Amino acid sequence: MTKKILTFSIVSLLIITFIFSAVAEARTWGRPRKCDVNMDGRITRNDADLIIQHAIGLISLSGVQKWAADADNDGRILAYDAALAARTAEGLGYPNCSSYLKKSKVRLAR
């Protein structure tokens, strides 16, 4: 009887945890995020590569991508922003790279 109660409690806790994490994920699904320049939902070295390529003029980013690439919010996209994205990609983190775009913040240009 005790094993059944314990098993039921653990399963219930796992289900509740899953539901809460799914709700939290749904709130940010599809919203641009700082440092996630390619908009794949993850911050990787590829995002840092895109930032540096834009900073030196090899590529041009869209409006939302520019917002995401400006990791330090100084209004410029520099090698420093690429370094911050790379830091985040390697798990060292940077607080701005976890912020999401608020709907009124940037006009979504295509």
pTM score:
0.63
Report the domain count for the chain.
2
Instruction: Assess whether 19 and 43 both reside in one domain.
Output: no
Domain with 84 in it: what CATH number? 1.10.1330.10
pLDDT in tens, 26-83: 444 566 788 899 988 888 999 999 999 999 999 999 889 999 999 888 999 999 999 9
Residue 90 vs residue 110, higher pLDDT: 90
pLDDT band at 103 (very low <50, low <70, confident <90, very high): very low
CB atoms within 10 A of CB 37: 31
Same domain, 1 and 52: no
- The residue range of the domain holding 3 is 1-30
Token pair listed for 97: 């790279």
Which of 38, 40, 93, 23 is CA-nearest to residue 69?
38
User: What is the per-residue pLDDT for 3?
Assistant: 79
Instruction: Judge if 44 and 60 occupy the same domain.
Output: yes
- Indicate if 44 and 84 belong to the same structural domain: yes
